[in-house]
Structures are given as C-alpha cells and as structure tokens.
Amino acid sequence: MIDDVLLETTEKMTKAVHHTSADFSTVRTGRATPALVEKLKVEYYGSDVPLQQLAGFNVPEPRVLVVAPYDKSSLKAIEKAIQHSDLGITPSNDGTVIRLVFPQLTTERRKDLVKVVKHKAEEGRIAIRNLRRAARHELEAFEKEGEISVDELDRAEKELEKLTHEHIAEIDRVLGRKEQELLEV
C-alpha cells in the first residue's frame, strides 16, 4: 500500500520534472530550435492545431529556423501565428517556406529570460510539493483507517521527503544548465 503510493508519487514527480524541462526548451537562447515554435497554435480550417502537425522544421544555421508547411495553403496562417506569438520575430515568407532569423540577444533580454526560466522552475517545484502533500494526505488516511501503523507512516513520510528533495534538486540542475545557456554570449 505504502509502496504503491510512493511509486505513483515518484512517477508523477518525474513527469513534473520532464514538463518543467520541456517548458525551459520553449525559452529561446541565442540559437534557433524547433522547440520554440512547434507548440504554437495555428488556426487551420477553423480549429487550433499545433504547428508541429502542419510543418517540418530545419535549422540550416545556428540562428535561422526554416518552417516548411506540408500544405502550402497553410503558409499564411502559420505566418500569422508566428507574428502574434511572444517570440518577437518577424517571419519572412518566400512562398514555399517561412524563415525565422533570431537576432543576437542583448544582455538585458538575457536577464529577463533568466527570470522567466526561474519562474517556470518555481512552478515545477510547486507542482512537486503539491504531489508530496497529496501523497501525505493519502498516507495519513491509511493510518487513520488503521491500515498502517504510526511508525510505518513516519518511515513513508521520510521516504516521501527524500523523493521530493531529489526531484526538486533535479529541477534546480536543469535550471542551472538553462541559466548558463542563456547567459552564454
């Protein structure tokens, strides 16, 4: 019973770490990467579709991203979605593909992006703490129902605390790498 709760919580915490890490990839550094635009919602025939389902991506140079739509009729919709996104980049359309040229980041912009990444990391930590709280409530319910002893509850809570610290440390490691990447000129 305790093992099931801890196993389930570990899986959920690992997913929270992966989600936070994926969130970090949407923050642009100085390099072009498909992760910056692939989740953008494009209005395509009346419904919002992620850009990754409508186009292929290519990075011919470190700061250039080429978006090649599978359907040429979606070119204008993709271009519009990119313009209205928070990327701050004007796409250039040559009739078949869209080119995104990422300018060099200023020091001020880099510091702003570090703040954004730190906020995303804090959201990840909060998610992990919420999972810990939910698991603790579940364990306490078992103890109240007499299914586990107080000693077993104590051991399980210590294990839960250890898991929480490990996953938060993993988020901090990923945050450190992303910060370094952002501040690198």
> Bridge partners of 48?
43
Q: What is the pLDDT along the chain (185 residues), one digit of tens a residue?
A: 888 989 999 999 999 999 999 888 877 666 778 887 888 898 888 889 888 888 999 988 888 889 999 988 888 888 888 888 877 788 888 888 999 888 787 888 888 888 989 999 999 999 999 999 999 999 999 889 988 888 999 999 999 999 999 999 999 999 999 898 888 76
The two tokens of residue 84 are: 């209205």
> Bridge partners of 57?
67
Per domain, the residue ranges of the chain are: 2-25+106-183, 34-101
Q: 34: part of which helix (H) or strand (E)?
A: none
Return d(Cα 104, Cα 6) in angstroms, integer: 45
Identity of the residue numbered 131: L
> Bridge partners of 47?
44
Nearest to 124 by CA among 162, 172, 179, 82: 172
2.40.50.140, 1.10.132.20, 1.10.3720.10, 3.40.50.300: CATH of 2-25+106-183:
1.10.132.20
3.30.1360.40, 3.40.50.80, 3.30.465.10, 3.40.720.10: CATH of 34-101:
3.30.1360.40
In this structure, what are the phi and psi dihedrals at residue 68, rounded to the nearest 5 degrees?
A: -110, 105
Who's near 175: CB < 8 A, 6+ residues apart? 24, 117, 118, 121
Nearest to 114 by CA among 27, 30, 31: 27
The pTM is what?
0.71
Residue pair 35/45 in contact (Cβ under 8 Å)? The answer is no
CA 30 to chain CA centroid, nearest Å: 18
In this structure, what are the phi and psi dihedrals at residue 58, rounded to the nearest 5 degrees?
A: -145, 140
